[in-house]
Amino acid sequence: MDNQRLLIWGLFGFLAWITYQTWVQDYAPAPAAQPTQAVEQTALTGPADGDDLPELSAPSDGALDAPAPMNDTAAPEMAAAASNAPFIRVKTDVLDVEISLQGGTLQSAFLTGYPVAKDRPDTLIQLLSTEPSNFGAVQTGLRIAGEGEEPNHRAIFTSSKDTYELGGAQTLVVPLQWKSADGVSVEKRFLFTQGGYAIVIEQEVTNGGEGLWRGAHYAQTQRIFKEQERSMFDVDSYSFAGPIIYNGEKSEKLKHDDLIEDGAYKFKSQNGWLGSIQHHFLSALIPEAGTDQSYSVSARDDRSTASMIGLAQTIAPGSSKTFTTTAFVGPKLQAQLEEINETLKLTVDYGWLTIISQPLFWLLSLVFGFVGNWGVAIILVTLLIKLAFYKLTESSGRSMAKMRNLQPRMKALQDRYKDDKPALSTAMMELYKREKVNPAAGCLPILIQMPFFLAFYWVLLESVEMRQAPFALWITDLSTKDPYFILPLIMGAAMFMQQKLNPAPADPVQAKVMQIMPIMFTAFFAFFPSGLVLYWVTNTLLSIAQQWKINTVVEREAKTKKH
């Protein structure tokens, strides 16, 4: 196998892979909606069909139907009503949140530590909003089986204060109250923590009436769908934005168009969750572990609703029960996600290279903990990878060095058998065998590097920990392109130097292609995240140092052998 030819095919293969990934995100079919068993409904309560409330049924076994889909005419009215309702403001060290007194809906959430862009520090990422162009909300409530008032996300709650601040405390509890005319009261509590993006929502139902109270708790997210054009100048545009679910076995991203065409996606699970993702950020709802939940994700026009509802529970007079749901509204920080639910880290989409990307991110995080700079961590991890494969790449490097020393003799054979290709091939194989050279061994370093290169690509693209992370000098954001294209130029020069250390292709056409490869790679890498280019530059420089040392040793051995 010819090493240079493999390098060319490797480049084209990578371009094909990028094209395929883009095609998958744009056109690949979504999984079919899961069928649900029909259950006889009894004692349905609440507004008529067509509203945005999850649907509760109370069959003999106590199970619940999946939530009803959002109605496209009711939702805008609800959004308008919620935006006009009184709200309370909650500020922590990482969140600036508005909670509407209509239903205790999380209607606005700014991430105080995450500006939209490095050069716009005062414009913060907003994941939830009442604005029609950026609408997003997290709604929770209770449905009841029977007649009576219902503390759903349309009910009006009260609060003793209109602002809450965490300050220097470790936790903050924000309570809201609701009470019906028949003596049933609900306290909805929002629990915030220092440095945390998880919001624990507790709904404590106290039955102060004379009869049994029977109902179930639910939670749902509503989001506006915004189509984004793909651009090689904007890495955000290649990241999926929309609903994501975990059905207890695997996670799946659901495309808006497929939900419109195929209808609601429904499933039941004791270990599921649902959410809405965009590049680096997540809004998710996670029920109590081990509880039966019915899930549904649906879409109408430009909006999607992802909801879950638990089994009906009965509360006797004089008794109380607390229903708990965790909402996560923030960046996809993997350490925090794993604390809530280990499977939540699946929202960080590394694709089919997760098996390499996850350990790679773990190693990067470990090194970062010592050096405090993601760019330095990338350099050190690249060095560790190089050391791990040193012996393997050394043997292939020796074969390449020997091939380089055989270039004059190979050229002589080509001149001698220029009109006899079979004889040339036979003579070349005899030369390789006599000199104990494996021409295919030079392919190995490339085959080893490509999976790590692709894994690094996804780690840098998807890991919010490296978003807007500075390195040094002009590199102020490792997740975006080098603003002055200096690193890509250094990379191109390093590749040119590396070529000079390797045996030149025998084929003149291949030789010309190899000459322009550094230029092609420089242009191609110019718009890649600078952290990825930093990895490739470091890897190339280490490869140059290793190959130069090997070439020196092999030449010394060849001279000793002659004498």
Report pLDDT for 524: 81
Lowest mean pLDDT among 69-83, 139-153, 266-280, 298-312: 69-83
Name 497's Cβ contacts closer than 8 Å, sequence gap at least 6: 544
- Residue whose tokens read 């651009």: 231
Alpha carbon separation from 342 to 44, 202, 276, 286, 288 (Å, rounded): 36, 21, 17, 11, 13
pLDDT band at 407 (very low <50, low <70, confident <90, very high): low
Among 4, 395, 402, which residue's Cα sits nearest to residue 410? 402
Lowest mean pLDDT among 131-140, 342-351, 409-418: 409-418
Lowest mean pLDDT among 264-268, 463-467, 516-520: 516-520
Report pLDDT for 395: 64
Q: How many helices (H) and strands (E) does the chain have?
A: 13, 19
pLDDT band at 542 (very low <50, low <70, confident <90, very high): confident
Is the pLDDT score of 100 beyond 90?
A: yes
d(C-alpha 51, C-alpha 348), whole Å: 33
Q: Which amino acid is at 177?
A: Q
- Quick one: average pLDDT of 401-428? 69
Is the pLDDT score of 303 beyond 80?
A: yes
Report pLDDT for 132: 87
Q: Which amino acid is at 346?
A: L
d(C-alpha 541, C-alpha 547), whole Å: 10
Of 127-136, 197-206, 278-287, 514-523, highest mean pLDDT = 197-206
- Higher-confidence residue: 504 or 137? 137
Q: Which amino acid is at 213?
A: W
Is the pLDDT score of 531 beyond 80?
A: yes
Report pLDDT for 435: 64
pLDDT band at 151 (very low <50, low <70, confident <90, very high): very high
Report pLDDT for 557: 61
Lowest mean pLDDT among 8-12, 389-393, 456-460, 475-479: 8-12
- Please tell me the pTM assigned to this model: 0.77
Is the pLDDT score of 51 beyond 60?
A: no
User: H helices of 158-286, where?
Assistant: 256-262
- Quick one: average pLDDT of 66-73? 37
Name 345's Cβ contacts closer than 8 Å, sequence gap at least 6: 332, 334, 337, 338, 358
Lowest mean pLDDT among 297-306, 396-405, 481-490: 396-405
Task: Write out pLDDT tens, residues 429-486.
Answer: 776 676 666 665 556 666 766 787 788 778 878 888 888 888 888 998 888 888 888 9
Q: Which helix (H) or strand (E) holds 112?
A: strand 105-117
Alpha carbon separation from 228 to 48, 235, 299, 406, 439 (Å, rounded): 36, 12, 18, 54, 47
pLDDT band at 36 (very low <50, low <70, confident <90, very high): very low
Name 150's Cβ contacts closer than 8 Å, sequence gap at least 6: 45, 46, 141, 142, 143, 144, 215
The first and second tokens of residue 515, run together, are: 């000459």
Report pLDDT for 467: 85
Q: Is residue 455 a contact partner of residue 360, using CB atoms and an 8 Å limit?
A: yes
Alpha carbon separation from 159 to 90, 162, 198, 412 (Å, rounded): 12, 7, 22, 91
Is the pLDDT score of 345 beyond 70?
A: yes
Q: Is residue 460 a contact partner of residue 481, using CB atoms and an 8 Å limit?
A: no
pLDDT band at 230 (very low <50, low <70, confident <90, very high): low
d(C-alpha 310, C-alpha 56), whole Å: 9
CA atoms within 13 A on the CB side of 296: 23
Is the pLDDT score of 42 beyond 90?
A: no
pLDDT band at 255 (very low <50, low <70, confident <90, very high): confident
CA 380 to chain centre: 24
d(C-alpha 514, C-alpha 467), whole Å: 34
Is the pLDDT score of 265 beyond 50?
A: yes
Cβ-count burial 486-524 (b if 16+ within 10 Å, e if not): ebbbbbbebbebbbebbbbbbeeebeebbeebbeebbeb
The first and second tokens of residue 275, run together, are: 């959410």
The first and second tokens of residue 192, run together, are: 């915030």
Report pLDDT for 324: 95
- Quick one: average pLDDT of 86-112? 95
- Quick one: average pLDDT of 15-38? 43
Average pLDDT value for the chain = 78
- Higher-confidence residue: 11 or 142? 142
Is the pLDDT score of 427 beyond 90?
A: no
- Higher-confidence residue: 47 or 264? 264
Cβ-count burial 129-143 (b if 16+ within 10 Å, e if not): bbeeeebbbbbbbbb
Report pLDDT for 40: 28
Report pLDDT for 425: 73
Is the pLDDT score of 112 beyond 80?
A: yes
Sequence ranges of the domains in the chain: 3-17+358-562, 44-345
- Quick one: average pLDDT of 355-365? 90
pLDDT band at 352 (very low <50, low <70, confident <90, very high): confident
d(C-alpha 361, C-alpha 381), whole Å: 10
Backbone angles phi, psi at 399, to 5 degrees: -65, -40
Please work out, in degrees rounded to the nearest 5, the angle formed at the alpha carbon of residue 197 by the alpha carbons of 98 and 153: 40
Lowest mean pLDDT among 47-56, 293-302, 380-389, 439-448: 47-56
Is the pLDDT score of 307 beyond 70?
A: yes
Is the pLDDT score of 423 beyond 60?
A: yes
- Higher-confidence residue: 114 or 562? 114
Classify domain 44-345 by CATH number: 2.70.98.90
- Quick one: average pLDDT of 196-218? 93
Q: Is residue 466 a contact partner of residue 516, using CB atoms and an 8 Å limit?
A: no
- Higher-confidence residue: 265 or 84? 265
Report pLDDT for 558: 62
Q: Which amino acid is at 82?
A: A
Among 293, 294, 261, which residue's Cα sits nearest to residue 66? 294
Lowest mean pLDDT among 25-29, 176-180, 336-340, 516-520: 25-29
Q: Is residue 313 a contact partner of residue 258, using CB atoms and an 8 Å limit?
A: no
d(C-alpha 203, C-alpha 461), whole Å: 38
Q: Is residue 371 a contact partner of residue 364, using CB atoms and an 8 Å limit?
A: no
